[in-house]
Chain A
Amino acid sequence: MKSPILLTASKYLLPILLLFSFFLLLRGHYYPGGGFVGGLVASIAFVLHSFAFGTEATMKILKRKPLSLIPTGLAISALSVTIPILFGLPPMTGLWLEEPIPFIGHDRIIPLL
């Protein structure tokens, strides 16, 4: 099935959805949203692309195998859970930076991930 509507739409939707997922990730700090929903939206973008152009084309723009992304993502989230232990705090505690990062301000880096 090659529908021109789907082909055209997914070509433009891919970057927009990725941008939107990034927005959701950052917004999730204080409002509904966050990493989980952001990740879902990002993956939907690629799923839609694969519906339109086939799996191989999508793998080409992904550049990395999804299987190598799983341990990376897991490792980042597991580290964000365990890093507070190094500071003598319980796991999953939010860490705040003392110095503000320019343009972003005081921010919780750890729970953001």
Chain B
Amino acid sequence: MIDNNILGPVFIHLFTGILQLIAWRKTVTQRFISGIGSFLGVLIAIRLFTKVNSDGILTLNAANWDAPFGIVFVADLLSSTLVLITSIAAFAVSLFSSTGISRQRMLYGYFPIFHFLVMGLNGAFLTGDIFNLYVWFEVIIISSFVLMTLGGRKTQLEGAVKYMALNILASTFFLTGVGILYGITGSLNMADLSEKIKMVNNQFLVGITSAFFLLGFGIKSAVFPLYYWLPSSYHTPPSAVAATFGGLLTKVGIYAMLRVFSLIFIPDDFTKQLLMVLAVLTIFTGSMGALIKLNIRRLFSYLIVCHIGFMIGGIGMFTKVALIGTLFYLFHDILVKTNMFLIAGLIRQMRGTMDLKSLGGLYAQYPKISLLIVLVLFSLVGIPPLSGFWPKVFLIKDAYAHGEYAYIFALILGSFVTLFVIARMWSEAFWKNVPEGNELEDKFEPMPLARKILLVLPIGILALVTIYIGLNANFVITLADNIADQLIDTKPYIEAVLKQKQN
């Protein structure tokens, strides 16, 4: 069905960004605009999600060009859910940034760029055109380069160089893949491609093209041999930026993989096997890295890599149950990882350091905030009623049914390492007394109440959503079930795009 309003989540962030450019150097105004804009973004995303949930797949033909020729935007369940979760995470980060980001960075345009980044994310989720997806990826990485380097400290620039080099490489692979795909099929519309790709005689070439996409998205989502840019760059920018990156950017790679491998390149046995091997190795290296790191944010960066492996494995099995697990984990991971980096930022405000060895005494000093944080940590580890638990059940169940024992082993290893690492972090940072002879600067204690609330509230919001997902798992599982159906049987998607009915 055609709906001309599905680009709302994109436009709201575009206009927020423009308004903030007009209010250049007026940081207080910018903070207000940012908060209001992202809140409106959440409302629009909720509206889009309920509409897609009740009416089915919505499409929009940009400039009124019909589907295979013009650029088409599609809001199916997967994209509208991701837009909703992204909007919630962006709202939380926007609130947190209003105190967590230094004024110096705001003066050089932190907020407008942040909103352009979120615009790019929403656009990437909503587009139905493979080249347009590339363009949105470019919007995302250009904004993320700016956010990464803003402030210009030496370590930051060092991380940014690695980040930029690898991401440009990924974009090149992606673009090359798009070029070959256009060369062999003559179409860029994903629904159209899905039908035309079956008619290509040289299926060998199709396989090679899919490798380009796998490589491009693999770098972006930090899969095993190509992950090393992530831990060496994510600990450098301010925590609010790292939260956006850690929570959302790698997940766009997973989204793109889900979309491309369900719609265009249906994975054959070799691809599946390859993805399984990559998943196991990703989990393994990610968890090994997390074990030895003592800086909170470096540790979280390795946990991101580790948990990306869980999702890649689910895509690799490509059965309905595995996809339900992957999707559930994706939703949970966006919220929790964003929250983890916000927590890291809060700890930095409280103690002035993120090194586990010199941290301590947080529980004694801030018991209520610590209890809030422990909920998030439990959810990350996957203590049963919370959101991290359910997806693993699905993944392990399906892996067992298909005899993927290496993956089961990796999953369990990854979960245990997460548990161990988080428990160590809890005991070092929260329970242990402050180590002797450490000069701690507590910037949090003397803050006015309003600023304290702005730092803690976003963590609370995200924690609430996580708890809601965990306790209301039934709803999320039904949703993931419907999405998995749409991913496996792509006929409704193709029909919605190519045989549009005017409503």
Contacts and interface: CB of A to CB of B under 8 A. Distances in A.
A70 B21 contact: yes
B60 A78 contact: no
B11 A93 contact: no
Contacts of B60: 90-91
A13 interface: no
A71 B16 CA distance: 11
Interface in B37-73: 60-64
A78 B14 contact: yes
Contacts of B64: 89-90, 93
A94 B63 CA distance: 7
A40 interface: no
A93 B2 CA distance: 15
A82 interface: yes
A91 B21 contact: no
A75 interface: yes
A67 B22 CA distance: 9
Interface string A80-113: 0010010011111110000000000000000000
Contacts of B62: 90-92
A74 B63 contact: no
B365 interface: no
Grouping DSSP codes into helix (H, G, I), strand (E, B) and loop, the A interface class, with mixed when no group exceeds half, is: helix
B18 A89 contact: no
Interface string B7-27: 100010011001001101000
Contacts of B4: 85, 88-91
B5 interface: yes
A78 B15 contact: yes
Given A71-B22, A75-B18, A78-B18, A90 B11 contact: no
Nearest to A92: B63
A12 to B, nearest CB: 34
Contacts of A88: 4
A88 B60 CA distance: 12
Contacts of A94: 63
A111 B14 CA distance: 19
Contacts of B7: 91
A90 B24 contact: no
A90 B14 contact: no
B348 to A, nearest CB: 31
Nearest to A111: B63
Contacts of B24: 67-68, 71
A108 to B, nearest CB: 11
Nearest to A93: B64
B401 to A, nearest CB: 44
Contacts of B63: 90-94
Contacts of B11: 78, 82, 91
A56 to B, nearest CB: 21
A91 B60 CA distance: 9
Contacts of A70: 21
A92 B61 CA distance: 9
A64 B62 CA distance: 34
Given A82-B11, A85-B5, A91-B7, A71 B18 contact: yes
Nearest to B72: A90
B433 to A, nearest CB: 50
A108 B143 CA distance: 32
A70 B109 CA distance: 13
A89 B62 CA distance: 9
A71 B14 contact: no
A91 to B, nearest CB: 6
A71 B15 contact: no
Interface of A: 67-68, 70-71, 74-75, 78, 82, 85, 88-94
Given A68-B24, A89-B64, 10 more contacts: A71-B22, A71-B24, A85-B4, A85-B5, A88-B4, A90-B61, A90-B62, A91-B11, A91-B63, A92-B62
12 contacts: A71-B21, A71-B24, A74-B18, A75-B18, A75-B22, A78-B11, A85-B4, A90-B63, A90-B64, A91-B11, A93-B64, A94-B63
Interface of B: 2, 4-5, 7, 11, 14-15, 18, 21-22, 24, 60-64
